[in-house]
Structure formats: structure tokens, C-alpha cells
Amino acid sequence: MSELRWNPLMGEWVATATHRQERTFLPPADFCPLCPTKPGGFPTEVPEPDYDIVVFENRFPSLKSDPPAPAVEGTELYPVRPGRGVCEVVLYTPHHHATLTDEPVEQIYKLVRVWTDRFSALDALPFVKYVFVFENKGEAIGVTLHHPHGQIYAYPFVPPRVLKELEQSSAHRERTGRCLVCDIMGEERRDGRRVVAENDSFVSFIPFFARYPYEVLVSSKRHLQALTDMEEGERRDLAAMLKTILVAYDKLFDLSFPYMMVLHQRPSDGGRYDHYHFHTEFYPPLRTANKLKYLAGSETGAGMFINDTLAEEKAAELRSRVAPVVWGGEKGKES
């Protein structure tokens, strides 16, 4: 059952998806549903013995393109609607024990192109208002399947956090005539203390206003709104920048670093969003090798984050772990 219930206190939708309670939870590698199906072996989601990158509809989706009727009747105060949308799983590699960090930059570049293709396809669906590309990595985040993968949610509305960014971007444009993320990026580059890495097309920094100790924002240098606006060189540079950040993360504590990675693009509702600026955000929960940044009362109940660290110091730590990205096994483009 999948439905959307309106929260009148916050002015936002909440999805109820009860079938997700039974979804596969941390299976052993031999029974990984995201690995290729070996000859004579356990039948997985992928009915072939090998693949490069695969995308499929989630077996336990939060939203469906043909959802059933809601389980409850809505009221004027509590509207309810079917949970209509699309939930896709993106398999980064057939290698079960790998992570996106381990993959060569060429594989990440392929992934960027797959994301672009999926964004284009889902963006065109009339009932989709926002396409959200993201990855949850690590048990600390709540991941239930280890095999390296991400997801794409196509929502029937613009989600709250993106709405807020859009409002802020619009207000800033009205006040100053300029793009907000362009100005944030400019200020970070001028200051320099929080910049982690830069290449021809992207800048990464721990923002001045970071909520997590190692939160990173990756901004395109060019003012664009979505993956589909990028040129091929920019897609390559995005892949290189993601590789740079992911490798630096793993080097911090010499462990496979958990994180949430999210792509913030323009909505898909046909509106004009030239005031908005494409960017990627990372929210890693670790604040030390063995301590987590928990979302407790102030963060969850009041929406106010408390960061126990200084962004400038954390950026210096991360920057010291940045290494050139190698294409094709030879020295090539550097981040």
C-alpha cells in the first residue's frame, strides 16, 4: 500500500508505504538481490550473468506509477492521495564488494550519463514534478543492501527541502539580481578556507553553514539547472569531482565512509527555474572514526542543526586527502 498523507502543520506530504516493512534487509552476499544472476544460482533482480549499469523499478517502492487507492479516506484537514510516482534503483557495478569510491572514474562518468538519461526520461512524465537522484551508503545511514547502488525518486510534487532552496534562490535573485548558489560559490572561492577541490567545471567546499562536520557541496561553475544542461566535458568533470570527494572521504579515517549523496536539480513541473543552480550535496554522519552526528531534538524537533566542528578545520582535513583523479590508468585530468 502506498499513499500520500498531508501534514497541515508543516504543509508537506508524508508517504505511507507499509509494504516496505518487509523489504530485504542485509542479506548475505550469496543472496544479494542486486548481483547478477549466476548460472544455476539464486535468481536476483537482474536476470543475466553480468551487467555494466542497470536501472530497475524498486520492488518495494515508496511511490508507484500505478498506485492502489489509499487505505484511508482523506478529509478537508487531512487530504490523502495515491502514492503516485516512480522509484528506481541504480546498480553502479556488478561487483558486490565494491563501493562507488572504489570504481574507476570512467565508471562514475558512465553513471553520470545514466543519471542524465533517467532524469530526461522521468522529467518528461506528466505526473512527475521532481526527479531526485540520491545514494544512501553505509549501515550508519540505514542502508539495507550492501551492493553498491543508488536510487531515483520521481515525486508528484516538489519536495520541501528543494522548495526552500527555490524560495531562497528566487528571493536572492529579486534582491540582488544574482544567482544565490553562484554567490555562495564565489564567496567560498574568495575565502578559500573551506574549498576542498576544484576542476574546470566544478567546485567542492564544506559550506560556511555546514550542518554535518564533513558536509560537502559540489557546485557547477556554470549557471545551469540540471544534468541535461551539461556539456560532455562537464559530465566528465562531475565524475572526476565525485571521485575526488569520495576517495578523500575514505582516506579521512581509513574506512569506507558512510554518506548520503543528493543531486539538487530544477523541478520537472514545467515552471521557469533559471534562478536555480544545480548542485550536489553530501551529508556524512561520522564526526570522528567512531562517533556519529545524530539528528536529535534540536535538529529533528526544531530544525536547527548544531555542528560540533569548524567547517574551516574539517575542510583542511579533507583537502589534505585530495589526490589527482587518474583517467585510463595514466596521469590525466586532475581535480
Partner 1 sequence: MEKRQIRLADGRYLIFYTFEGELSAPRPRSDVGENEGSGTAEREPEAEEERGV
Residue 113 in the binding site for partner 1 (CB under 8 A): yes
Q: Which residue of the set 146, 149, 275, 277 is catalytic? A: 149
**Binding-site member from 41, 233, 324, 332 for partner 1 (CB under 8 A):** 41
Which residue lies nearer to partner 1 by CB, 49 or 192? 49
Q: Of 215, 226, 224, whose CA–CA distance to 267 is shortest?
A: 226
Task: Tell the smallest beta-carbon distance from residue 287 to partner 1 (Å).
Answer: 29
Cell of 233: 566535458
Helix (H, G, I), strand (E, B) or coil at 280: strand
**Binding-site member from 19, 38, 164, 178 for partner 1 (CB under 8 A):** 38
How far, in Å, CA of 230 to CA of 227, rounded? 6
**Binding-site member from 1, 98, 143, 326 for partner 1 (CB under 8 A):** 98
Task: Tell the smallest beta-carbon distance from residue 50 to partner 1 (Å).
Answer: 6
**Binding-site member from 13, 36, 240, 266 for partner 1 (CB under 8 A):** 36
Q: Which DSSP string do the residues of 65-115 spell out, in sequence order?
A: SSPPPPSS---SSS-EEE-BSEEEEEE--S-TT--TTTS-HHHHHHHHHHH
Which residue lies nearer to partner 1 by CB, 51 or 294? 51
Residues of this chain, 53-72, that bind partner 1 according to CB under 8 A: 53-57, 59
Task: Tell the smallest beta-carbon distance from residue 20 to partner 1 (Å).
Answer: 15
Residues of this chain, 295-334, that bind partner 1 according to CB under 8 A: 328
Helix (H) or strand (E) holding 238: helix 232-253
Contacts of 157 (CB under 8 A, 6+ apart): 13, 129, 130
Task: Tell the smallest beta-carbon distance from residue 270 to partner 1 (Å).
Answer: 19
Tell me if residue 149 is catalytic: yes
Taking every pair of Cα atoms in the chain, the longest distance, rounded to a whole number of angstroms, is: 64
Residue 23 in the binding site for partner 1 (CB under 8 A): no
Cell of 220: 557547477
Residue 220: φ, ψ to 5°: -70, 140
Window of 108-116, 150-158, 194-202, 258-266 that interacts with partner 1 by CB under 8 A: 108-116
How far, in Å, CA of 243 to CA of 238, rounded? 8
How far, in Å, CA of 174 to CA of 178, rounded? 8
Which residue lies nearer to partner 1 by CB, 41 or 68? 41
Active site residues: 149
Which residues are at the interface with partner 1 (CB under 8 A)? 35-41, 43, 45-57, 59, 93-98, 102-104, 106-107, 110, 113-114, 117, 121, 328
